[in-house]
Homo-oligomer: A and B are copies of this chain.
């Protein structure tokens, strides 16, 4: 194995770095963990791995939901967590340049101090790294207005499979010189190269958002609001959906004074300063037209924070229900009601609870399949429900993953979504960047037969 002060083979340390947060994914036994502090050290690891044909699994904070950062057998785990410097914040051109191990929340706070704003806000934003966000093309709540990670990545430094160092993209607002490799690397889950520096675009700080919350008797009523409200030209900064099972879980976790018989909730935010009141009044109007049973529009910041609290508690509240597998399908927003109702039906059919919430404005739902890991039958039913949800998403013209990625968890389903020609083109791209197949092998794409 490569000898360097940033490499360890200590079994306890390896064990701690073996998995990300995906369920149903079996981690292999890693051979070593490298925690380099510089691009040169990353390059050294890849040169060594390339020469000896050793698999390399790049890792950020291992908060991924699909197994992208989970060890494969005999791999070098390549953690970028020590490359955590903010290299520059360019206030004139609204960009920031960071090493991949910088935590999203650290960058967000640093740019906020200068009156700037880095919008991508995955649920893990307080603990996940920018490098991981780039590797998975992370989304978040405010995508509905601002877009996802790839909409903000301008320039990358990438160490290639053989250890060569590539700079690609540009710092300018526009540019079409050559192929868009920046967006090819973004979301490629460490299978095409290892990102060692990222320049992101920033925006001027938005106003603090105001919030509205509406209760509905049925999911279909809430979904109808989503389409009508967005079609009216409004651009909410958040537009979230929670079904009744999610609301029940939150209410059991903390009493927010919600009514007992909620069929669905929508939460909308607007960050347009004084115009936010107008945006939310319009939301309330559309909600009432669709039969909302109650609508609350915050009149000040304290009320606004209270109303969004329900959404913030979902992860912890649903986590109390049992073992779980978080899904991530995305459909055209006109099909949202069919998706939500179909998920409920899948829960009934397979005898599992599937609280469902998510980014309604983008048609991106996170149904959480709750099961008992100690009960093989429950596990089997949970997996069947998880698969049925992806199948439903595809049937509704959607995708099996809106923002969590493929990893190993969804690899068989990726082949269904891509089709034969798409899969073959993906394999050709992988082969072009990683002919020896050492970069995160078996993630996204199946390992080719030896």
Contact = CB atoms under 8 A, between A and B. Distances in A.
Contacts of A231: 91-92, 94, 204
Nearest to A435: B428
Number of copies: 2
**Residue among A166, A179, A332, A421 facing the most chain B CB atoms (10 A cut-off):** A179
Contact of A173 (B183, B192, B362, B405): B362
A444 to B, nearest CB: 7
**Residue among A91, A233, A361, A425 facing the most chain B CB atoms (10 A cut-off):** A425
B177 A418 contact: yes
Interface string A332-366: 11100000000000000000000000010111100
Interface stretch (A11-19, A208-216, A396-404): A396-404
Contacts of A95: 332
A181 B137 contact: no
A179 B363 contact: no
A230 B144 CA distance: 23
Nearest to A164: B421
A174 B204 contact: no
A416 B441 CA distance: 33
A195 B424 CA distance: 18
Contacts of A418: 177-178
Given A332-B92, A429-B432, A363 B421 contact: no
A293 interface: no
Given A93-B332, A231-B91, A233-B204, A425 B173 contact: no
Contacts of A426: 178-179, 181
Contacts of A91: 231
A184 B187 contact: no
A368 interface: no
A170 interface: yes
A200 B367 CA distance: 28
Contact of A187 (B150, B166, B179): B179
Interface in A314-338: 330-334
B429 A179 contact: yes
Given A93-B332, A180-B150, A205-B233, A433 B428 contact: yes
A226 to B, nearest CB: 10
Nearest to A233: B204
B403 A178 contact: no
Given A143-B173, A176-B403, A181-B425, 16 more contacts: A92-B227, A92-B334, A94-B230, A136-B176, A137-B176, A165-B421, A170-B398, A173-B330, A174-B330, A174-B359, A174-B402, A176-B404, A177-B401, A177-B410, A178-B422, A204-B231
- For the complex of A and B, the 5 pairs showing the least CB-CB separation, nearest first, are A204-B233, A92-B334, A432-B432, A175-B399, A183-B183
